[in-house]
Amino acid sequence: MDFAQYKLLNYCLCNVLKRGVLDLELDINVKEDYILPFEVFTCKTLVKLKLGCGFVIDILPKNALLPALKTLILDLVRFDSSDGCAFTRLLSASPVLEELVINRLNWEHWKGSRFVSSPTLKRVTIRRKEWEPEAWTEFESVSFDTPSLAYLEYKDVIPYGYPTVNLNSIVEARLTLPREVEYDWVNRSADPSNLIKGLKNVETLSIKGLDTMRLVFYNFREAVPVFENLFHLSVISEPDFCWDPLQILLEKSPNLKTLTIEVPCTITFMINWTWKLFANVCWGIRSCCPALLRSLR
């Protein structure tokens, strides 16, 4: 698209926004020099906004305000503001926001804040696109200040740390924290401790991937809190499932009622593996969990 086409596109967008649109989805093949009209960020009627893919947001108007916005979906969107606050300002300009979805995310391409902060958010879904090791120095920390958040789905590479984690209302969390091929855990100072501690009130926890179990809940086992409210634990792992991280979680979950373990494998391996795991789980339940596990699948 050229400049004339951008101008026509923005004219049409502004016309739609003036008509009191409630649900707006923008998925346009644009270049990085395209700038969304400021009216997108000052619309008083928008309830749901989806931006993707490839938009670059470098500036928000001073009067940015989306007073009715409840759902915000960002698909391969990058924030590139010189002051580093465009993402934070977008969230603060949405005073009733309840759901945030970020798909195909690359934090390291964002300039400035990687701070998810909102007093009203109830659901957050973050799914990383891919890992680019040469950009590591630009990916130092991620924070969550979301006191009303009840649901978190989080797939990401672990940064240097999580300086702020406020998940006091968390009910359900789904974690996938994979180990990338080029990711050097020996020389990097990646630390998920605050994130683990912030999940202490969770009731339903789903952990996907052997790396998540080993690198997070085993390597940083000192940070694992007592999950007093954890009733349902689900683990999706590989055939070479490691018992040690699960044992740690069982020891820290005194009121656990349901344990679900999913391991994709061949039938022959499954038979041998199931009996071994069953013995380990039964031992762990007997020694670690005073509360009866009512369901074991």
Predicted TM-score (pTM) of the model is: 0.87
**70 burial type by CB count under 10 A (0-12 exposed, 13-18 middle, 19+ buried):** middle
- Using DSSP, state whether 21 is helix, strand or coil: coil
Extract the tokens encoding 207: 């952990």
Query: Which amino acid, 117?
Result: S
- Using DSSP, state whether 160 is helix, strand or coil: coil
CB 24 within 8 A of CB 16: yes
pLDDT at 186: 44
pLDDT at 80: 82
pLDDT at 139: 62
- Using DSSP, state whether 67 is helix, strand or coil: coil
pLDDT at 107: 81
Extract the tokens encoding 37: 């009209």
pLDDT at 211: 80
DSSP state, residue 40: G
pLDDT tens for the chain, 297 residues: list them: 666 778 888 899 999 999 999 999 998 877 666 888 999 999 999 999 999 877 888 889 999 999 999 999 999 898 887 666 889 999 999 999 999 999 988 887 787 778 999 999 999 999 998 766 555 545 678 999 999 999 999 999 888 899 999 999 999 999 998 765 455 544 457 889 999 999 999 999 999 987 888 888 988 999 999 999 999 999 987 766 667 888 899 999 999 999 998 876 654 444 454 545 555 555 555 555 545 445 444
pLDDT at 271: 47
CB 42 within 8 A of CB 65: yes
Whose CA is closest to 188, among 226, 221, 145, 219?
Answer: 219
pLDDT at 185: 47
Contacts 24+ apart (CB under 8 A), 260-264: 260/232, 260/233, 260/234, 260/235, 260/295, 260/297, 261/234, 261/235, 261/237, 261/297, 262/234, 262/235, 262/236, 262/237, 263/236, 263/237, 263/238, 263/239, 264/238, 264/239
User: Cα separation of 117 and 32, whole Å?
Assistant: 26
Residue 23: CB atoms within 10 Å: 11
Q: Which residues pair with 205 in a beta bridge?
A: 173, 233
